[in-house]
A = this chain, B = another copy of it.
Amino acid sequence: MNYRIDNLQYCNWSREIFEINHQAKLDAVHATICYHEDFDELQKNINTWNDYFRKNDDLIFLGKTSKDIEQAQLKNKTAIFYGLQNCSPIEDNIDYVETLKNQGVMFMQLTYNNQSLLATGCYEERDSGITRMGKEVIKEMNRVKMIIDMSHSAEFSTLEAIEISEEPIVVSHANPLFWHKGLRNKSDDILKALNDSGGMIGFSLYPHHLKDASNCSLQSFCQMIAETTKRISIKQIGIGSDLCIRHPDSIVEWMRNGTWTKTKDFGEGSASNAGFPPQPSWFEDARGFDNLEKGLQEVGFSVDETHDILGNNWYNFYRKFD
């Protein structure tokens, strides 16, 4: 059995998006349900998702374990796995880790772009690694089987999270630094540490993470994946597209600025390129998985390897947290 999994999307969710993901034959999507929200604000987002599930139960349902990925395929639906791009919902209360896991939160980033109570984000000038609370929270996430995601975290914090965690961790959506010097892309040291610890990286299709940005070619992207398999096992890579489609630009401004600053921050963009960048033509939405399937085979991956990269590896990784 082969599975197709997009291990990171933050689209402007609607029936249209769920239909696109269905057409893309996605068995599972890791959906971001938080950037800056605290615990109470997250509850509102979960209520909104309950509404999506009620109104679109022919297309989606809440996934909690790898069995739900199997069920999704059997039922021709997409399992939605909740993930947080920030630890803000646990506030300073370690008990909320278990509360949120019980509500279906499968992934939590220890930081978004800034310093959090747990670790350092990739936009900070200095990186002090995992904090005292961070060490406690990693233990607790290991205990309740919530997956640690360091996609937006700084280098040393990421390496230290890998070292401290007794379970493998993920970089759900980023690319290797050797290919494109994006602030969020990951070093060879991180790829090696992920490899050695059984972790995963999901390749991102967000233009700021791509060589040549929106003009990145399918071939360049797939060759990057081939090159990456020299650094991390072909069984430990997948896709985390970071698709943010159908959002107005005000959303990317909120993602970057939240309520933490009175000075506008442009993140990976700039004053003259402040909005969401256009997706590459071969990955305008999740239906681009079909292009990835062809592209990967064209750069030399076998059919089985292609299936592993497009979902089986994520499926096998999820199984470790059942």
A residues adjacent to B (C-beta < 8 A): 36, 38, 88, 91-95, 114-117, 120, 123-129, 131-134, 136, 139-140, 258-263, 265
Contacts and interface: CB of A to CB of B under 8 A. Distances in A.
Contacts of A140: 262
Contacts of A95: 259
Contacts of A126: 128-129
A259 B128 contact: no
Given A92-B258, A95-B259, A127-B128, 7 more contacts: A38-B38, A94-B260, A115-B115, A116-B117, A126-B128, A133-B260, A136-B262
Given A92-B36, A94-B261, A259-B95, A124 B115 contact: no
How many protomers of this protein does the assembly include? 2
30 contacts: A36-B92, A38-B38, A88-B92, A92-B258, A92-B259, A92-B260, A114-B132, A114-B133, A115-B117, A115-B128, A115-B131, A115-B132, A115-B133, A116-B117, A117-B260, A120-B128, A123-B132, A124-B128, A124-B131, A124-B132, A125-B128, A125-B132, A126-B128, A127-B128, A132-B260, A133-B260, A133-B261, A136-B260, A136-B261, A136-B262
A81 B116 CA distance: 29
Contacts of A94: 259-262
Contacts of A125: 128-129, 132
A289 to B, nearest CB: 35
Nearest to A114: B132
B136 A263 contact: yes
A99 B205 CA distance: 41
A116 B94 CA distance: 15
A15 to B, nearest CB: 32
A235 to B, nearest CB: 34
